[in-house]
Amino acid sequence: MASIRELHQQLVRKERTATEITQAALERIHQLEPKLRSFLAVTADQALAQAQRVDDQLASGEEIGLLAGIPIGIKDNLCTKGIRTTCGSHILENFVPPYESTVTHKLAEAGAVMVGKTNLDEFAMGSSTENSAYQVTANPWDITRVPGGSSGGSAAAVAADECVVALGSDTGGSIRQPASFCGIVGLKPTYGLVSRFGLVAYASSLDQIGPFGRTVEDAAILLGAIAGYDSKDSTSLKVPIPDYTQSLIPDLKGKRIGIITETFGEGLDSVVADAVYQAIEQFKALGAEVQEISCPRFRYGLPTYYVIAPSEASANLARYDGVKYGFRSEEADSLLSMYTQTRAKGFGAEVKRRIMIGTYALSAGYYDAYYLKAQKVRTLIKQDFEAAFQSVDVLVSPTAPTTAFKAGEKTADPLSMYLSDLMTIPVNLAGLPGLSLPCGFDAQGLPIGLQIIGNVLREDQVFQVAYAYEQATQWHLHQPEI
């Protein structure tokens, strides 16, 4: 499938209709889903109705925006009015939201065509999309491997051409790590840049919605459409939203790039390290000044995250009790047993694990030792980044320590699974923008991701560096044969 801009030009020139583009995406989904399992729901009727509206606008001579008629996948933790939203959990198996999330509302207003809701780790908790209560999504580059998580369905759908772009959410790497594993572009924006209204909460101080695309430009266009202040989200930032496509300049003269030394060490595959070092050489060739930067507290990101995120999850997920909405156990003989049985049957193992960790960390006598301590370390991690950005414009690191691993390989060992997010977590703790884009392949033909981290609200610089690298290389042109 072509890029957003190419499809837009085809529509404007009347070479194709939005209905034809949408039908092609739906046929591709129908053809690949038995193998890939990216989607939990395909919204074909609604998609064709949305496409028809765009065709009617064009027929009447109206101008359309860049996203009008573009097929898009939506992670199934974003509320869609009248369309089931499960969060990949049995507890929300039959939940149909009575309201629309801000981002999906904005996309509908822009004329984008939602082709379906994509699979995810239950409540966005996981790094492989194996924690979904419904199905395991496959990686389009090798269907025996995982697509990453928790936004694995969105990443796999974009990589396999089932849709042009998609939305995911990123709490500790859930957009960037699947983008890395699936060989596409994924961006976690600055915390507060995109409204979280209608995103089912996992860890409210870390969650952020962001775009997936096959190119940096597609991600930039999609971010421009969903970013902006929203009075329904108290953490939303009141800042002007630039045209991010204006930052797409294939030149890095005078740009200062820092390599985070702490990300090159134990646990990093040598093939990933080599690909990232080659990317750094490319930055130099494009005129950038490159220097090594130490973020000494970076390595405390993982333990800090696994206190803060589960603590927030244990509070956020307390609402799933069988009383107001979602699944309710019918076998209970009292209110208390209904609570316990509903949660025991409705939640999967990983969600229960994190709720228990979080509840323990917040309990009397442990709050100061764990949660409060973790918040202090979070501040120190943020200070490391602030110090780094005084001498550089962006920071780079590998996105993930390895390429995509085999399905089932890490499910029995939660700790080794958690290590998949080693490089991405500190960016969430500091609320910064981070982007992953492809920078090579390993011997098995699996994609390798490069992470570019910007200062607060400096998505423009992240996009510029990513775009210049992308245009100077061929990695984004590779497509999986599925």
**Residues annotated as part of the active site:** 75, 150, 174
For 122-147, letters b (16+ CB in 10 Å) and e give bbbbbbbbbbbbbbbbbbbbbbebbb
User: Which helix (H) or strand (E) element contains residue 18?
Assistant: helix 18-36
Helix or strand or coil: residue 3? coil
DSSP-assigned letter for residue 369: I
Report the amino acid identity of residue 1: M
User: In whole angstroms, how far apart are CA 421 and each of 47, 70, 130, 425, 459?
Assistant: 34, 31, 15, 6, 21
Q: Dig out the tokens for 303 from the structure.
A: 């333990």
Q: At what angle do helices 44-59 and 4-12 cross, to 10 degrees?
A: 50
CA dihedral 36, 42, 47, 49 (to 10 degrees): 150
For residue 214, give Cα distances in angstroms to 19, 65, 170, 222, 452: 22, 19, 18, 12, 16
Residue 228 phi, psi (nearest 5): 135, 160
Phi, psi of 260 (to 5 degrees): -75, 105
Helix residue ranges, H only, 325-441:
335-346, 349-362, 373-388, 414-418, 425-430
Contact assessment for residue 175 and residue 151, using Cβ atoms and an 8 Å cutoff:
yes
**Burial letters 48-87, b for 16+ CB under 10 A, else e:** bebbbebbebbeeeeebebbbbbbbbbbbbbbbeebbbbb
Cα torsion 421, 176, 182, 412 to 10°: value is 20
Return the residue matching tokens 């990093």. 268
